[in-house]
Amino acid sequence: MASPGFFSFGRFWPPFQGQGGMRQQLDPSAHTMKSHGSALARKHVRDWLILLLLIVIEIVLFVIHPFKRFVGRDMMEDIRYPMKENTVPVWAVPLYAVLLPMAVFLLFYMRRRCVYDLHHSILGLLFAVLITGVFTDAIKNAVGRPRPDFFWRCFPDGVENYDRWGGVVCHGNASDIKEGHKSFPSGHTSWSFAGLGFLSLYLSGKIKAFDRKGHVAKLCIVFLPLLVACLVAISRVDDYWHHWQDVFAGGILGLVVATFCYMQFFPPPYNDEGWGPYAYFRAMEESRTNPIINRESPVGQAMEERVTNQEPRRNGDTFTPYSYHSPTLEAMEMGQK
């Protein structure tokens, strides 16, 4: 049986209680899509436009031909591996590297109703994946390293042909030859570590994996997405689509970009406030420093409803509208006093 506080979800998930059954209370400090979604979208409209620009750049990089690196007769020994199908198809990468993390983000939103967390996690994830994709394809086109199966892409019938300098004269399918010059770095690997690495950072903050309480089992949850990314990387070598240096560089690239993008919106997972985005804490600080809340707003109406339906505690006191506490807010209160 897990010890109390093993998974400290209760600190940021709203309580479920009520008389005669279980019902969810409306938390006036929640920031939902209805109450804050439109304002948040307008605030970050430039970020979403930049994402569209990254998509256009990624399409252009995918279409253009990579650098046609010299491939000589003496090099064929290392790039003569057989052509195989992908163990992990290309269409599956967005499913587990983008849609799966988004599904996890939605689950947390359904429980906590924080649009800041949902918006920033999705925005950070998309930035991590698209920036990684642009870096990966730009490097691929610039390097033009042949894949391990380049021989059979160049000479599908096994008949070799070289020019007077000893360079290959390919007569295979043009698309296969073009793809054969895109070995370094591995796109599957970089995308996997970008998306699943971001998810790993997100989960480590949400379950407080670094709360110094010694619950090593939390690390199993944190490492699980990274394990999946590692297996994808290994499959690229096993399928002879990449050299081991390609997947190593792709993994490092994806993790570094994911970390930078995550830190733009969330505190480090080992931070006491690592479970929530910066924007949430700023909103809570503004709520405390500005006690006058618009009664017509959803938040103001929720506060009135909760105060009206407040339930007494054991010592006779009543619930206060805000039950959130953080080191930052406590420090502000001490300064005001």
- The Cα 315–Cα 105 span in angstroms is 38
The DSSP secondary structure of 65-99, one letter per residue, reads PPP----BGGGGGGS-PPP---SS-TTHHHIIIII
- The Cα 83–Cα 240 span in angstroms is 7
Angle at Cα 206 formed by Cα 205 and Cα 207, nearest 5°?
95
Residues in contact with 271: Cβ distance below 8 Å, sequence separation at least 6, in sequence order = none
Residues in contact with 118: Cβ distance below 8 Å, sequence separation at least 6, in sequence order = 33, 105, 106, 108, 109
- The Cα 66–Cα 136 span in angstroms is 12
* Residue entry with tokens 């240096």: 245
**Backbone phi and psi for residue 215, each to the nearest 5 degrees, phi listed first:** -85, 90
CB 143 within 8 A of CB 70: no
- Residue 241 burial (10 A CB sphere; 0-12, 13-18, 19+): buried
| Residues recognised as catalytic | 188, 242
Distance of CA 333 to the CA centre of its chain: 34
**Backbone phi and psi for residue 9, each to the nearest 5 degrees, phi listed first:** -75, -30
CB 33 within 8 A of CB 122: no
